[in-house]
Chains A and B, each alone.
Chain A
Amino acid sequence: MNKQKIMLIPLDPVHDVGLKMVRRGLEEAGHETILLPPDLPVEEVIQEIAKSSVNTVLVSRTLGYGVAEILARFVDLLDAAGIRERVKVGIGGMAIRPELAAELGFDAGFGPGTTVEEAVAFVEDREYVEAKQRTIKHKTDFTIGYSYAYRHQGIKEKLDRITDMILTWAQGKTSPGVRRAEIRDELWDVHRWRDYEPMAKFEREYVKHSDEMVRNFYENGVLHSKTRRFSKEEVVGLEDYVARTIETMKVPQLSARAKPLVFNQYGTGCPFMDIGHIKVSEAWGADGVVHFDPSWGARTEGLLDGFLTHEEDGTVLTPANLNRIKRALEESTLWQIRAHRGLNTPETVVLAGKIGADLTKINICYGSLGAGTDPARLTVDAIAAIRFAVKYGMPFDVVTNEELCGVPAFKAFAGMLITAALGVRLGGKPILQPLFCKSPEVMVGGQMTDNYVEFNAAKIMALKEIVEAPIWPGAPVGFLTQTEDRVQSSASTAMHAVLASMLEVDAVTIASADEAYSGGPITVPSKIDTLRAVAEALRFYGHTTIAQTKQMEIWRDEIVTGIDKVLTDVVAKGDFVQALYDGVLGSREDGAYPGRSGRDTVVKQ
Chain B
Amino acid sequence: MSHRQLILGISGTAKNTGKTTTTISLLNYFTLQRINLGLTSIGYDGESVDNVTGLPKPRLFVPRGVLVVTAARCLEVSSAKLSVIETLPIPTPLGKLVCAKVEREGLVVTAGPNQTRHLRTVREWLYRHGAELIIVDGALNRMAPMVETDGLILATGASYKPDSQQVAFDAQYLAEACNYLPVTQDLVREGLLNAGTTVVWGKNHKILAATTQSLLEPGELEPLERVAQQAVGLYCPGLITPSCLRRLMEIPFASVMLWVLQDPTKILIPNEPSLIHEFLLKIREAGSSVVYRNPLPLLAITVNPFYPQYRYETNNYEPAYVERSELKELVAKAAKIPVFDVVQDDCLGLASVILACGCLK
Contact = CB atoms under 8 A, between A and B. Distances in A.
Interface stretch (A81-89, A336-344, A500-508, A529-537): A81-89
Contact of A105 (B114, B217, B239, B265): B114
Contacts of A106: 93, 114
- Among A50, A104, A105, A107, chain B packs the most CB atoms within 10 A around the CB of A105
A103 B51 contact: yes
Contact of B44 (A65, A81, A102): A102
Counting contact residues on chain B (CB < 8 A from A), the size range is: 35 or more
Contact of B140 (A69, A79, A84, A101): A69
Contacts of B284: none
Nearest to A71: B140
Interface in A88-110: 97-109
A75 interface: yes
B47 interface: yes
Contact of A97 (B51, B116, B238, B241): B51
A538 B93 CA distance: 35
A114 to B, nearest CB: 12
B14 A105 contact: no
A104 B15 contact: no
A76 interface: yes
Contact of A80 (B45, B117, B265): B265
Interface string A122-149: 0000001000000000000000000000
A81 B214 contact: yes
Helix, strand, loop or mixed for chain B's interface? Answer: loop
A102 B15 contact: no
Chain A residues touching B, majority SS: helix
A30 B72 CA distance: 32
Nearest to B262: A80
A479 B269 CA distance: 66
B179 interface: no
Interface in B209-268: 213-214, 216-217, 238-239, 241-243, 265-266
Contacts of B243: 43
B71 interface: yes
Interface stretch (B2-10, B142-150, B299-307, B341-349): B142-150
Nearest to B145: A79
A107 B114 CA distance: 8
Interface string B113-146: 0111100000000000000000000011111110
Contacts of B269: 73, 76-77, 80
A65 B310 contact: yes
A47 interface: yes
A448 to B, nearest CB: 48
B93 A128 contact: yes
Nearest to B317: A65
B51 A99 contact: yes
B114 A102 contact: yes
Contacts of A103: 43-45, 51, 111, 139-140
Nearest to B77: A99
Given A65-B310, A73-B141, A77-B270, A82 B93 contact: no
B92 A80 contact: no
A109 B111 CA distance: 14
A116 interface: no
Contact of B93 (A47, A69, A76, A101): A101
A243 interface: no
B52 A76 contact: no
B16 to A, nearest CB: 11
B143 A107 contact: no
A72 interface: yes
Contacts of B266: 80
Nearest to B308: A65
A90 to B, nearest CB: 9
B153 to A, nearest CB: 18
A571 interface: no
Interface residues of A, number: 33
Contacts of A102: 43-44, 71, 92-94, 111, 114
A69 B116 CA distance: 18
**Most A C-beta atoms less than 10 A away, residue of B42, B71, B73, B216:** B216
B140 A72 contact: yes
A47 B111 CA distance: 29
A63 interface: yes
Nearest to A88: B91
Interface string A18-55: 00000000000000000000000001001100100000
Contacts of B145: 79
A105 B15 contact: no
Contacts of B143: 76, 80
Nearest to A69: B141
Contacts of A47: 216-217
Contact of A99 (B44, B147, B241): B44
A111 to B, nearest CB: 11
A79 B214 contact: no
- Among the interface residues B14, B143, B217, B239, which one has the most CB atoms of the partner chain A within 10 A? B239
B77 to A, nearest CB: 10
A72 B91 CA distance: 18
Interface in B1-37: 14-15
A82 B265 CA distance: 12
Kindly name the residue among B93, B117, B141, B214 whose own CB sees the greatest number of chain A CB atoms within 10 A.
Answer: B93
B310 A100 contact: no
B44 A100 contact: yes
A84 B239 contact: no
A497 B310 CA distance: 46
A353 B292 CA distance: 76
A84 B147 CA distance: 14
A68 interface: yes
A146 B293 CA distance: 78
Given A75-B142, A79-B144, A82-B213, A105 B71 contact: no
Q: Which of B144, B214, B238 has the most CB of A within 10 A?
A: B144
A103 to B, nearest CB: 4
B93 A77 contact: no
A437 B355 CA distance: 82
Interface in B56-102: 71, 73, 91-94
B115 A104 contact: no
A151 B101 CA distance: 73
Contacts of B140: 68-69, 72, 103-104
Contact of B239 (A81, A85, A100, A128): A81
Contact of B43 (A80, A104, A128): A104
Contact of A69 (B15, B44, B47): B15
A80 B93 CA distance: 21
Given A47-B216, A98-B94, A79 B44 contact: no
B197 to A, nearest CB: 11
A98 B242 CA distance: 32
B115 A68 contact: no
A106 to B, nearest CB: 7
Interface in A504-521: none
Contacts of A77: 144, 239, 269-270
Contacts of A79: 115-116, 144-145
Contacts of B213: 81-82
B216 A105 contact: no
The 5 closest A-B pairs by CB, nearest first: A79-B144, A103-B44, A101-B93, A98-B93, A103-B43
Interface of B: 14-15, 42-45, 47, 51-52, 71, 73, 91-94, 111, 114-117, 139-145, 147, 213-214, 216-217, 238-239, 241-243, 265-266, 269-270, 310
21 contacts: A43-B241, A43-B270, A50-B216, A76-B142, A80-B238, A80-B266, A80-B270, A81-B239, A82-B214, A82-B238, A84-B115, A100-B51, A101-B93, A102-B43, A102-B114, A103-B43, A103-B139, A105-B42, A105-B43, A105-B115, A108-B93
Given A43-B241, A102-B114, 16 more contacts: A46-B216, A65-B310, A75-B142, A75-B144, A76-B142, A77-B239, A80-B143, A80-B147, A80-B239, A80-B266, A84-B115, A102-B71, A105-B114, A105-B139, A107-B93, A108-B93
